[in-house]
Structure 1
Amino acid sequence: MSFQPVVLGGGVSGWRFLQRTLDKQAEAFAKSAPMVRDETHFREKIIAVKSVDDLVGDRRLMTVLLGAFGLSGDINNRFFIRKVLEEGVDLPGALANRLADKRYFAMAEAIGFSGGVAPTSRAPDFADKIITAYRAQSFEAAVGAQNPDMRFALALKRDLTSLAAKPGSDNAKWYTLMGTPPLRKVFDTAFGLPSSFAALDLDRQLSVYQERAQSMFGDSKLSQFADPEKIEELTTRFLVRAQLTAVQTDTSPAAFALQMLQNMPRVQRPLPR
């Protein structure tokens, strides 16, 4: 049986507890039997992969590979994943280059099937890199099963730090963020943006993100989030807004009763004589 992470509630208090216990919990999770079996299989079999069919035909290999990029939900979309991997990333028209979700590009680039070039899965450190990412993503998914907001917060530190530190224009980084669903979820929530915001023209979205970043953090650049203190501030804003939204949209009987009690007029009791 896999180790189940302990998550004590949501919001900032829940996040602080998770941070205090993160290293020990992640270590215990990585040592659980299912994780060890998946990782052992990946290490043993990935070196023999010579074609996309070899890879896609092995469900356990695909479990680790897709899991490493947060794409576990595509485990049964074999035709789609095969096409993403076969076309690679070298040609502008390749599927991975055309998809809005940049995680597919990252996976196709990492595995390296393109134009007959040997896949990078044969590189000595390939398995280590994929397994490290798989451990992190799997642990975050287990945390997310108990509290989705905590999963987003965990992924934020890793993914945003990496994106902010990448070379290239700041606008390009913002566009990459827009195409990375977990990061976008955090920013949209922290910035108080509605779900309809994603339907706007990309250039308009960019302007809004930059305006909100300037207003809240004093800087419109995404590269500012290379600073751990800025990421922690963003995380806090995200968790507070997410918890507030959850309370406002809670339609459970308990929440309804509480709302009724809060809205009841106060009874003016006569002063004792």
Structure 2
Amino acid sequence: MITSTLVSYRLAASDLDTTLQRVSEQSIVSREVEYYLENIGDVKSIDDFLGDSRLFSFAMKAHGLEDMNYAKAFMRKVLEEGIDSDDSFANSLTDNRYADFAKTFDFKSFDAATTSFTKTQQGTVDKYVRQTLEEQAGADNEGVRLALYFERKAEGIDTFYEILADPALAQVVRTTLGLPDAVATIDIDKQVEMISDRLDLETFRDPDALSELLNRFAALWDVNRGLDQASNSLIGLFGGTGQVGISQDLLLQISQLRR
């Protein structure tokens, strides 16, 4: 029996703490969490961090960067330059996941003490469990994953340009507003104008308004695609198992950093 996106999303979101607890108790998740918490405190340098592929992969997945596990030279540059300078490597990238990663694992500022903070320990575990929940939801119904992802990111959205820079966020907004996917090909300023005429950014900071928006998205997702298609994986939105697809510019930068 196929469950609608709206029902599935409401079930997952209605008691999110309980849903996350169930995910954390899954054997494969609990094993990875246990290994991470037991070993991350022993990491005292970027070399230590990149040298333990299991720890590094856990942290990357927690930040939605799992598809970039292979790009260690790229991530080394992210970590070595940190985030203090406006023109640091992480801050120069349009995808703010890299700056978030560098902020969490701020070896540049804190050196050997970096992994002693809550954000690198339990904070990273919490992100890992949430990412796992969203991925598992997407395996059954990509619309549910999109809704959960948007819910997680919503409070930090300050401009419509941030939405359009993220294919998954943009898909939620277009679906909710009844805009065709072809809109993504027009001038970005015109897209912002089109969306801002129909949507207020304050909606994302009002829990009730956000819930109403995501309920509408979930209902329209099934209407637009049909229940038989609602669980199809949209590889272009999440880049496989990660958050966002890798751009050609980013791939070029990675190739230049390989060692």
The TM-score bracket by the shorter chain reads 0.7 to 0.9
> What is the CA distance between 1:53 and its match in structure 2?
2.2
Moved more, 175-184 or 229-238: 175-184
Task: Work out which of the residue numbers 97, 101, 105 in structure 2 matches 1:107.
Answer: 101
- For residues 175-231 of structure 1, the C-alpha deviation after alignment (integer angstroms, 9 at most, x for no partner) is 333334432331132223444544555443332221121xxxxxx3x1232111111
- For residues 118-177 of structure 1, the C-alpha deviation after alignment (integer angstroms, 9 at most, x for no partner) is 5632224530111111111111111111111111111222221x315xxxxxxx433333
CA contact (8 A) 1:102 1:180 kept: no
Aligned amino acid, residue 22 of structure 2 = A
TM-score after normalising by structure 1? 0.72
Q: 2:209 is matched with which residue?
A: 230
CA contact (8 A) 2:13 2:148 kept: no
Task: Work out which of the residue numbers 137, 158, 163 in structure 1 matches 2:156.
Answer: 163
Identity %: 30
CA contact (8 A) 1:26 1:139 kept: yes
Note if 1:47 corresponds to 2:41.
yes
Q: 2:246 is matched with which residue?
A: none
- For residues 94-129 of structure 1, the C-alpha deviation after alignment (integer angstroms, 9 at most, x for no partner) is 222222222222111221133675563222453011
Moved more, 64-73 or 188-197: 188-197
The count of residues paired between Structure 1 and Structure 2 equals 229
Aligned amino acid, residue 219 of structure 2 = V
Q: Which has the higher contact order (CA 8 A, sep 6+)?
A: 2
Q: 1 CA distance for matches of 2:14 and 2:103?
A: 35
Instruction: In structure 2, list runs of 5 or more residues that go unmatched.
Output: 230-259
> What is the CA distance between 1:14 and its match in structure 2?
3.0
Q: 1:142 is matched with which residue?
A: 136
Moved more, 80-89 or 241-250: 241-250
CA contact (8 A) 1:111 1:120 kept: yes
Q: 2 CA distance for matches of 1:95 and 1:126?
A: 21
Note if 1:189 corresponds to 2:189.
no
Superposition RMSD on alpha carbons, in Å? Answer: 2.8
Instruction: In structure 1, list runs of 5 or more residues that go unmatched.
Output: 1-6, 165-171, 214-219, 251-273
Q: 1:57 is matched with which residue?
A: 51
